[in-house]
Structure 1
Amino acid sequence: MFKWLLLIAGASLFYLWFKGKKQTKLDQQNTTKANADKASKVAEPEVMVQCQYCKVHLPKSDAITHDGRFYCCQEHFNELDEQGWIGFANWRASPNQDVRPENLQPDLVVIHHISLPPGDFRNQRSSQHIVDFFQNKLDPKGHPYFVEIADQKVSSHFLITRSGELVQFVATHNKAWHAGISSFLGREKCNDFSIGIELEGDGDTPFEEAQYQTLTKLVEKLVEAYPNVQFSGHSDIAPGRKTDPGIYFDWKKFQKETVVSPEKLPFGLISR
């Protein structure tokens, strides 16, 4: 009996020794792995990016990221840069543009409306149709109306969608093809000296509050860059040919929210 007790005690001691040795090995492995992970993290430097506006380099984790671009601060994100692109817009460059006449800066903003197909702006796909149109990518098979316009080459500097999203197609330094045959206070070829802003909508429906908010924010930056800029509707510079932005664009609201001087609105504040 005593012999069996010694055998059982020996087996128990061996089991405890073996278990302890195995645990020690696991602890060593875990320590080695933890040290390796720590060394790996130290060895991998943080990704650096460049502010689109001021070109300063900063850690990616500290940057404001928008549309694949990076900004070092909110102020720079909201600015119109030296190339004529605004930070908080989605950039979708249009091939339908060219340079302005030499030494000519924009001094007119023309407000339009657009919906593709006409009246279909409530469809979420409508905004993308406009982007495709300005980039010459509109599929003629997408709607019967698209067959009529698919070959047209037009663009605007900006589009403000129903949700208030801002899309930019052309740098403000360059000429977009938005005004067509036009005349502003006796000056023809308005594309040469104007900036075009398209509001998604039609002439039969009020615009959204979100659109006015984005328009106000955009106009603030345009006025900073071009202090002499004036404002008109497309119908003001192409009467009889165009009706946009239409009677539902609230010029009084626009003037109040942008704090633009009434003198900068030569066609008045009456909706038309």
Structure 2
Amino acid sequence: MFNSILIDSSGFANKAQVILSPNFDNRPNKSNISLIVIHNISLPPGIYGGDNIIDLFTNKLNPDKHAYFESISNLKVSSHFLIRRNGSLIQFVSCLDRAWHAGESSWNKENNCNDFSIGIELEGSDNDAFESEQYRCLQELIQSIVYHYPIKGIAGHSDIAPSRKTDPGPYFEWDKIKSIFKDLMYKH
């Protein structure tokens, strides 16, 4: 293996801090993991750091902490991975399980992307550039995922749910990961 992130047989990355989310279920077909979906998230929007993203993915977000949280505190969502601004990696759901990150979505005429994708959240927003440390971690993580699973494509959340989502946003530099996926399907 050519990078330091390894995914074990239970679907967990060795370099990730594991914080388990209750928001997941079984994939209908564990062998059909074929897509990586890139997202961005910040809570409150545009504010980085703290535990608000973790609290959202673990159903502990306090709606009284910020006015924006009132509208999202009851959501049951998760992602497989979160890459913080400093490049640190958190894993919430095993790659073998279905995280709830994509919502209503479609890729290559196949609906319900949660069934067959791995979701990676980058701490960020549509309005800011991502950090070089995030790209380094993302590159290593993607290489490991591709090594372990039959990935056929990579897409932004905006590609699989274009009428409702805009992430990872205009500041995401697709060229920084394209070399890893030179033989796979792109939307960019």
2:54 to 107, 118, 131: 131
Matches of residues 1-272 of structure 1 in structure 2 within 5 Å? 78-121=5-48, 124-125=49-50, 128-256=51-179, 259-261=180-182, 263-268=183-188
Shift in Å, 1:79: 1.6
Q: What is the CA-CA distance between 1:142 and the residue it aligns to?
A: 1.0
Structure 1 consecutive aligned stretches of length 4 or more whose deviation exceeds 2 Å: 102-105
With over 3 angstroms needed to count, the CA separation of the structure-2 counterparts of 1:175 and 1:80, relative to structure 1, is same
Counterpart of 2:159 in 1: which secondary structure? helix
Contact 2:36 2:151 in 1 (8 A): no
| 1:260 maps to amino acid | F
Q: Which has the higher helix share?
A: 1
CA contact (8 A) 1:154 1:177 kept: yes
TM-score normalised by L of structure 2: 0.95
Deviation per CA, 1:179-206, whole angstroms, max 9, x where unpaired?
A: 0000001100100000000000000111
3-state DSSP of counterpart to 1:219: helix
Query: Take 1:174 and 1:210, find their aligned partners in 2: how far apart are those partners?
Result: 27
Partners of 1:105 and 1:173 within 8 A in 2: no
- What is the distance in 1 between the residues matched to 2:151 and 2:47? 36
Cα RMSD between the aligned structures?
1.6
Q: Distance in 2 between matches of 1:103 and 1:164?
A: 28
Give the Cα separation in 1 of the matches to 2:82 and 2:90. Answer: 5
SS in 1 for 2:126: coil
**Structure-2 change in CA distance of 1:172 and 1:223 (3 Å):** same
Q: CA deviation at 1:139?
A: 1.0
Deviation at 1:225, TM superposition (A): 0.3
In 1, are the aligned partners of 2:124 and 2:130 still within 8 Å (CA)? yes
Identity of matched residues, %: 48
Indicate if the aligned counterparts of 2:152 and 2:185 stay in contact, CA closer than 8 A.
no
Q: CA deviation at 1:103?
A: 4.9
SS at match of 1:211: helix
- Per-residue CA deviation, residues 40-80 of structure 1 (Å, 9 max, x unaligned), is xxxxxxxxxxxxxxxxxxxxxxxxxxxxxxxxxxx9x7320
- Indicate how the Cα distance of structure 1 residues 93 and 229 shifts in structure 2: closer, same or farther if over 3 A, else same: farther
Cα distance in structure 2, aligned partners of 1:103 and 1:117: 34
Letter of the 2:170 counterpart: I
The runs of 5 or more residues in structure 1 that have no matched partner are 1-74
After superposition, what is the alpha-carbon deviation per residue over 1:182-237, rounded to whole angstroms, capped at 9, x for unaligned? 00011001000000000000001110000000001101110100133310000000
Give the CA deviation at 1:254: 1.8
Count of residue correspondences? 187
Instruction: Give the equivalent residue in structure 2 for 1:29.
Output: none
AA at the equivalent of 1:120: I
The residue type paired with residue 78 of structure 1 is I
- 2:148, 2:76 → 1: CA distance? 28
Q: Secondary structure at the match of 1:140?
A: coil
